[in-house]
Structure formats: C-alpha cells, structure tokens
Chains A and B, each alone.
Chain A
Amino acid sequence: GENVEQHPSTLSVQEGDSAVIKCTYSDSASNYFPWYKQELGKRPQLIIDIRSNVGEKKDQRIAVTLNKTAKHFSLHITETQPEDSAVYFCAASGLSGAGSYQLTFGKGTKLSVIP
C-alpha cells in the first residue's frame, strides 16, 4: 500500500518568515495530494490540495508544489502569522485493494510561529 513520509516533525519560525513542509510518497499511481491543518483540540480541515496533472497551486499565503517524478510534494507558507500555528498533515490518495481510493496520511508537522 501507499506510504507517506513527512518532514520535519516540528518546525518553529519567526512571525513573518516562511515555512516549508515536505512529504514523499511511495505509490506512483497516487494522483491527489491534500494538506490538512489541525488546530489544538480541533478537527483536521483541508487547506489546499493538488492533483497530479498540476505542478504548483497557490492560495494567498499558502502554496503546494508536486514533483511526480521524484514522488514528493511540499507545502509553503509565506509571511507566517501566529494563527498559522497548528499541526499540518499531508496525504496521498491511492487505489486500495478493494478498488476504491483511500487517503494515506503523513505523521504530521507541528508548526509554531513565534511572535
């Protein structure tokens, strides 16, 4: 099955700096890569996603890049703010043995933005 590795596990940045989180995946057939943000005690919420036919996608201060050849994708947050502090999860969507698509999640990155 799919295996998703996520790095780093913790990341501290000064307010206003950029943050980058990287993920690799194993299944070359995976074709959808969402990123979820989870604030303390809350549910995960989708913040951005990218499909395999696109190399980069941007939404205001966040962007995601995908390199299908190398099987890695990254989340970039610019001009970080204290409210960006949370745990971020990457995921890859691949075909399961039962014939439907499942998300496999990375283990998460705890981002702390220091005012």
Chain B
Amino acid sequence: NAGVTQTPKFQVLKTGQSMTLQCAQDMNHNSMYWYRQDPGMGLRLIYYSASEGTTDKGEVPNGYNVSRLNKREFSLRLESAAPSQTSVYFCASSAGTGPSYEQYFGPGTRLTVT
C-alpha cells in the first residue's frame, strides 16, 4: 500500500496564478483532510471531507476550494495564489471522523508564491 500520496512535491507560482494540489489514499478511508504548515504555527486545518460527497471548512479556508472527487481522491485548489499561501500543504486521511481515529499524512507539497 502506498498510503497517502500527494502531487506535486514542490511548486512555485506567481501571484494570481491558480493550481490544484492532488491527494489520493489507498486505505479505503472515509475521511480526508487538508492542512497547511507554517513555521512556528503547527498544522492548521483548511478543509476536510468526512465522507465521500461532503466537504466542510476548517480553521483557515479562505482562498481555497476543495473537491472530493471519489472515495480515494481529495483535491485542494488555489484560484488566485497569494504570497500568504506560501506554505507546506499536507493531506491526511482517517477511517472515520469519530473522536479517536488516527490520521495518516501524505508526504506534503511545498508551495512558494512569489
């Protein structure tokens, strides 16, 4: 099993450009998440999908959109990138959204917006 995979690994964008970060999991998990990680800020939840067909905002959703394409795939879109979106983005998945399901993280995408 590959677990959680993300593409691309690195990306440089100019301000105003758009892009989509891809995430896939092969663990048959119901729930998927997008986090951003900034120095000294920990991991902050952007959006999550409790199950196929549903998505909800997390702590920092502004400037992002998501699509739960099917049970395996959950994408994050930046419509008009801003320098404040320079960050490392992690996708994660879990079997469910109950109170004690372990979240498994992907390898991350390092995004720089100039």
Contacts and interface: CB of A to CB of B under 8 A. Distances in A.
Contacts of A34: 102-103
A-side binding surface: helix, strand, loop or mixed? strand
B-side interface size class: 20 to 34
Nearest to A89: B42
Interface string A1-24: 100001001000000000000000
Nearest to A50: B100
Interface string B48-92: 101000001011000000000000000000000000000000100
Nearest to A29: B99
B45 interface: yes
A-side interface size class: 20 to 34
B48 A105 contact: no
Interface of B: 31, 40-45, 48, 50, 56, 58-59, 90, 97-103, 105-108
Given A100-B97, A105-B42, 11 more contacts: A31-B99, A42-B107, A43-B106, A46-B102, A93-B99, A95-B99, A98-B50, A100-B31, A100-B56, A103-B45, A103-B103
Interface of A: 1, 6, 9, 31-32, 34, 42-46, 49, 51, 89, 93, 95-96, 98, 100-108
